[in-house]
Amino acid sequence: MKPSVVILSPEPPYPLRGGGAFRIASLLHYYARFAEVDLIFLSDSGKPAEIPAGLVRRQTVIPLPVHNRAMWARYARNARRALRGVPPLVDRVSGLEAEVERALAGETYDLGLVEHFWAANYVGQLKANCRQVALDLHNVESTLHRRCAETSEGLVAAGHRHFGRRCRALEARLLPEFSLVLTTSAEDSAQVLGIAPDAKVAVYPNAYPYTERPEVPSAPLTVVFSGNFEYHPNIDGVRYLMRDIWPGIVKKIPAARLLLVGRGEEFVRQYIQGDATVHVTGPVEDAVAEIARGAVVIAPLRTGSGTRLKILEAWAAHRAVVATPLAAEGLAVESGHNIELQDDPAEFAAAVCNLLKNPDQRRQLAECGLQCLRERYTWEAAWVTLDAMPQVTRIRQLSSYTG
């Protein structure tokens, strides 16, 4: 008899778009190898996820209330949330206890896995039906808000500081409730233990499914920045790029072009409007193929938490990467070997220009990045870390039982 696992997620694992979906899917595929997996996910659309056949036994969709996605509406909601002291994404997925209980009713699971801290409040509902409950912590939310405050101004900065304090209080209370907390890196694990010393923490790195490098011709003077541009760290990254880095690149290489790959153009339009050197793709089906159309990939992030799938995608695309140290936090990077790390905007621009002018150097950096990805950050490589965790080993052993 196979063990049973239920995954509760505030976003669907498929389609594979964005770091959250890739991380959730990697764990879904891992457990599906030896367990019966049920998926409960919260959805803006209320529609089932297009999950590969045979991967889950059952999926249950819990619709989220419809809300306006415009920037002004987001600011208005967050102002109300600040007055109530509830972090935005925690608030977005809250109040569905009865629906979660109905989805779990009549079942007993060997493991309940909660995806994202936003849904950690449902630990009580899962404990009633699961022998153990784990939390997959994509980011340390209090750290994310604190860092966002450091690169923001005025009411936005004040809001992030307020939400950061509220997240830290929730983390201190909720994280010890889980049998295991998975973090993306040793850095995040240390942050978690600083907030909740009694939490049981282990590292499960972000990873990317093994794929052959795309055979896509690259534009020799195109620079790519990929991401969800509705997300504050990426919005700030575009602002920082266009204000402090991109002018230096275009000054040295006037023919250089910037390609922003991902959804959310309306959230960064104010920073790129009127600049003929910049193009935004909008949502794409295959991010790696789009990234591969550029010669150099950049990650000019000044804020964030967790580890960045955008760097793994760039390595999968076989492209050289220039990033800030924060953007590469938690990854096995070595500047000058598999990535170029620069914190100063002028030096960041110079590194990009140097790579645009030197195809052999680009190729060598890309080769080392691709090698690092395949050795450490494919799904199969990441699954080895799960195999070694006692909490997971006990569940895997059940798969050899005959009942």
What's the pLDDT score for residue 402?
35
What's the pLDDT score for residue 339?
97
What's the pLDDT score for residue 209?
92
**pLDDT (tens digit, 9 = 90+) per residue, 305-355?**
888 899 999 999 999 999 999 999 999 899 999 999 999 999 999 999 999
Can you name the CATH fold of 222-376? Rossmann fold (3.40.50)
Query: Could you tell me if 393 and 387 are in contact, meaning their C-beta atoms sit under 8 angstroms apart?
Result: yes
Tell me how many helices (H) and strands (E) the chain has.
17, 13
Distance CA 65, CA 93 (A): 9
Residue 243, Cβ neighbours under 10 Å: how many? 11
Distance CA 321, CA 366 (A): 7
**pLDDT (tens digit, 9 = 90+) per residue, 354-403?**
999 999 999 999 999 999 999 999 999 999 999 988 878 777 776 653 33
In DSSP notation, 227-293 reads: S-TTSHHHHHHHHHIIIIIHHHHHHH-TT-EEEEEBS-HHHHHHHHTT-TTEEE-BS-S-HHHHHTT
What's the pLDDT score for residue 307?
85
Architecture of the domain made up of 4-207+379-398:
3-Layer(aba) Sandwich (3.40)
Could you tell me which of 367, 227, 373 has the C-alpha nearest to residue 300? 227
Q: Is 182 helix (H, G, I), strand (E, B) or coil?
A: strand
Query: Could you tell me if 355 and 254 are in contact, meaning their C-beta atoms sit under 8 angstroms apart?
Result: no
> Which segments of the chain belong to CATH 3.40.50.2000?
4-207+379-398, 222-376
Distance of CA 354 to the CA centre of its chain: 29
Could you tell me which of 274, 305, 306, 310 has the C-alpha nearest to residue 294? 310
What's the pLDDT score for residue 75?
79
What's the pLDDT score for residue 67?
80
| Burial degree of 360 (CB within 10 A; 0-12, 13-18, 19+) | exposed
Q: Is 48 helix (H, G, I), strand (E, B) or coil?
A: coil
Tens-digit pLDDT string for the chain (403 aa): 789 999 999 999 998 888 899 999 999 999 999 999 999 999 888 888 899 999 999 999 999 988 877 777 887 888 888 888 889 889 899 999 999 999 998 899 999 999 999 999 999 999 999 999 999 999 999 999 999 999 999 988 999 999 999 999 999 999 999 999 999 999 999 999 999 999 999 999 999 998 887 777 777 899 999 999 999 999 999 999 999 999 999 999 999 999 999 999 999 999 999 899 999 999 998 999 999 999 999 999 999 888 889 999 999 999 999 999 999 999 989 999 999 999 999 999 999 999 999 999 999 999 999 999 999 999 999 999 999 888 787 777 766 533 3
Q: CA neighbours within 13 Å on the CB side: how many for 362?
A: 23
* Tokens 């040793």, located at residue: 186
